[in-house]
Amino acid sequence: MKLPDLDSASFAQLLSGVSDLTLVIDGAGVIEDVSSGRNTLVSLGCQGWIGRRWIDTVTPESQVKVEDLLREAQEGLPPRWRHINHPATSGNDVPLQYIVLPLGRSGQRVALARDLEGLAELQRRLVETQQSMERDYLRLRHIEARYRVLFDTSSESVLLVDASSQRVLEANASAQTLLRDGARRLVGREIRECFEAASQAEIQSLLRMALATGRIEMCSAQLPGVSAVWTVSATVFRQEGGPQFLVRLVPRDTAAERSATGPSAALSEAMERFPDGWLLTDPQGVVKSVNDEGMALLGLTASSQVVGHPLERWLLRGGVDWGVLNTNLRQQLPVRNFATDVRTLSGMTLPVEISAVSLQRPEPMYAFFLRDIERRHPGASPVTQSLAGTLADIAQLVGRRPIKDIVGETVDTIERMCIEAALQLTHDNRASAAEMLGLSRQSLYVKLRRFGMIADNEAD
């Protein structure tokens, strides 16, 4: 490279452009001049280095590198970059990268430095990020180890099934012992092939229901070569590869069922086979259990469609009916033959009679019995008999009194009968009776006074 002769000012400007810090050093290693190209190096106090030996301005571990740089420049060896640290007034060392070049025949040398603070900050962030990743990786390893121990040592048979292909991805030791045959491995098989042919359609329906609802779904199934009936539960979760099923197989405790021959077991079996619909709820009205007849009455195919939902959702008058039922049950009063309508899953309405009791052991619960009125044997109820007698009396008035008077008395009679029936159903709770009749409390009290059912001066 051919360069023109440069004066001292041009040479100094050239050095300031190619380095962040320039030191002019004499033959004894003493700094004669300092030129800083960056304000960030002011913390070093480098202007105070003039007249000091270069080796005295660096940290102890960098002094050997300074001696090597000066010696190599004096001997005319090829220059090389070295990493040297300077102590700063802030307490942290400032890293610089130096190269030393000879300057003329007088023994002077020039040391060019590059600031490594930005590179050091990047390296520090890289180290911190790597340490954080290692900690996260170690934590995930610990979580995976705990999961693997729990998965393999569980007494229940557990399978992980891919939702798209319905093939087994993982199986714990219990599942492999229970379902693996001598010809094929369990992992990789379709989940339906692990069950009897009669139960395969039920298993596929279970998986579809779990994927659609996102809740835990359960069914009963039989395994090849096993006479006992097993309870299969499935829940869905999502990973990067898509949705997957966690399938658990739990044997029904048939031995305990056979040995339990006491009154409690007989009562439990009777409730399951009760010819009327039966639901068990908590005091807030959330359904906890239902028998087969109750599901048939509401048009359901699985108990999960009603369990966990409020009972008032299935009542046609919703909160009105639930308010009447809840008021009586909270007062420990049984409800008998409460007439209302229920809304089935298909949207149809069905007239029913509800009886209910409050249970206090082991925790407060409500038991509801639903009877389909349309399936009852025809017979005259007291209300029907009263209405028939009233209509017979009205028919005898024809020809004796004007039709206008007959119609007015008929309306009053029917109105009085409706109020009496509402008060009887609500155990004389007038607020609930008014809500059931679609009246305000003031309107109900006006009608009660008109029919002489309360005193005129009785307070609300």
Q: Looking at 72-76, 89-93, 193-197, 292-296, which range is the least confident one?
A: 89-93
Region 260-375: CATH code:
3.30.450.20
The domains of the chain are located at 11-115, 154-255, 260-375, 382-450
Rounded to 5 degrees, what angle do the CA atoms 361, 366, 370 make? Answer: 135
Region 154-255: CATH code:
3.30.450.20
Residue 258 pLDDT: 44
Asked if residue 254 has pLDDT above 50, the reply is no
Query: Distance (Å, rounded) from C-alpha 332 to C-alpha 347?
Result: 33
For 58, the 3-state DSSP assignment is coil
Phi-psi region of 104 (alpha: psi -120 to 50; beta: other; left: phi over 0): left
Residue 8 pLDDT: 56
pTM beyond 0.75: no
Q: Fold identical between 260-375 and 382-450? A: no
Residue 435 pLDDT: 85
Residue 224 pLDDT: 83
Residue 383 pLDDT: 52
Would you mind telling me the total number of residues written for the chain in this entry? 460
| Residue-by-residue DSSP string for 68-105 | HHHHHHHHTPPP--EEEEEE-TTSSEEEEEEEEEEETT
Asked if residue 339 has pLDDT above 70, the reply is yes
Asked if residue 172 has pLDDT above 60, the reply is yes
Residue 134 pLDDT: 92
Higher pLDDT, 18 or 228: 228
Phi-psi region of 202 (alpha: psi -120 to 50; beta: other; left: phi over 0): alpha
Asked if residue 12 has pLDDT above 90, the reply is no
Q: Looking at 11-15, 16-20, 296-300, 379-383, which range is the least confident one?
A: 379-383
Q: Which CATH architecture has domain 11-115?
A: 2-Layer Sandwich (3.30)
List pLDDT tens digits, range 40-60.
666 677 778 888 999 998 999
> Scanning the structure block, which residue is given the tokens 């300057």?
103
List pLDDT tens digits, range 261-301.
556 666 666 777 777 888 999 988 999 888 888 888 888 87
Superfamily (CATH H level) for 382-450: Homeodomain-like (1.10.10.60)
For 293, the 3-state DSSP assignment is helix
Q: Which of 327, 321, 337, 330 is nearest to 360 (CA)?
A: 330
Percent of the chain surpassing pLDDT 90: 9
